[in-house]
Amino acid sequence: MKWLFVILIIGAIVYTFRDTAGPILEQLKETTPSVLAGICVMSGIYCLVEALITTVLAKQYNPDFRYQWGIENMFFCSFYRVATLGSGSGVAAIIYLNEHGVDYSKGFGMYMLQYAFHKISIAIYSAIFFFLSWNYMCGHFGGYTWLLLAGYAITMVITLALILFCCSTRFHQLIFAMLDFFNKKGKYDALEHQLREQCADLETASKYLLHKKKMVVGVIGLNLLKLCFWYGMPYLLFAGDKNINLVETMAITALSVMLAAVIPAPAGIGSTEFVFTGLFAGIVGTGIAGSRLCYIVCYFCFSISDRCGCGDYTKDQGTAGNGKSLGAK
């Protein structure tokens, strides 16, 4: 089903730009080696900052956790994100962390919160650059306001759901009340007991992180720094175009990420690219926008754990490695 969804999105992209393949290829030929090197550097820095975020969080549970392991983990879950369209990257990361001193329940809670912090950072970044380019954005994309608001709403709902799932006793009680309703005959008592233990471990591990307020602020700050290199990459590709400057480029890229949240694509594959090309095509032309997107995908998508964190963690719940549950110790 996931692959079918991705194929449909790719088909829509091909159909939309079917008459502009020639201009896109021409623009690809004109890209200089220095621009390609710049893309590699920016995507590499993004990866290093992402690894640093993982290291900072993991050190809260295992003080001996190394930055090298954070880098390895980032590329490890990057591979599984692409190979499984997001559904296996979170589990892969949790297994890797467990092998490096962060047990399953702590690793699961940590990555759920890391994804939430990333979502919060995306919303903050989008708001900042949208208002910095208010007149420009309203003039070109005023018609997308309701979609932008929908993107914010979805982002906030996901973030709130993740935090509640990790930390809220009442939220867990609501889940167990629903389970009790469907388990009146006691058929699933053993499974429910195990789930209660896992939720208790998850809650303890997650609250431990959230109580470290300075660390949380620092992680969000690192996420904002990380996004600078992602959102700034298109400007490097559009350099020389007088129709757009750095702030406007970052604002449009932020807008494309928020709008893509409205499209329920697996792991965001295809949706962000489709929106990105559509928005920039009206500013710099379809040929330039399409060609620049090709470079961003090639140098960025396959080297980064997740353009919204390290995979789609809300879908990565269940069993992780050797038949052990995520709450197992």
Tokens representing 179?
A: 């389970």
Q: What angle do CA 236, 240, 243 make, to 5 degrees?
A: 100
pLDDT tens per residue across span 79-115: 777 677 666 777 888 899 999 999 888 888 888 888 8
pLDDT score at 156: 83
The pair phi, psi for residue 294, each rounded to 5°, is -55, -45
Number of Cβ atoms within 10 Å of the Cβ of 187: 10
Is this structure's pTM higher than 0.85?
Answer: no
pLDDT score at 292: 53
Which regions of the chain are under pLDDT 50? 295, 298-329
pLDDT score at 216: 92
Dihedral, CA of residue 223, residue 172, residue 316 and residue 323, to nearest 10 = 130
pLDDT score at 251: 86
pLDDT score at 141: 78
Q: How many angstroms separate the CA atoms of 46 and 170, rounded?
A: 37
pLDDT score at 306: 41
C-alpha distance across the termini of the chain, in Å: 33
Coil, strand or helix at 63: coil
Picking from 152, 162, 170, 126, the residue whose alpha carbon sits closest to that of residue 261 is 152
Tokens representing 74?
A: 């980032």
Residue-range domain boundaries for the chain: 30-44+105-301
Place of tokens 């502009």: 20
pLDDT score at 62: 93
Find out whether 26 and 290 touch, Cβ atoms under 8 Å: no
Find out whether 96 and 211 touch, Cβ atoms under 8 Å: no
pLDDT score at 311: 41
Place of tokens 């975020």: 53
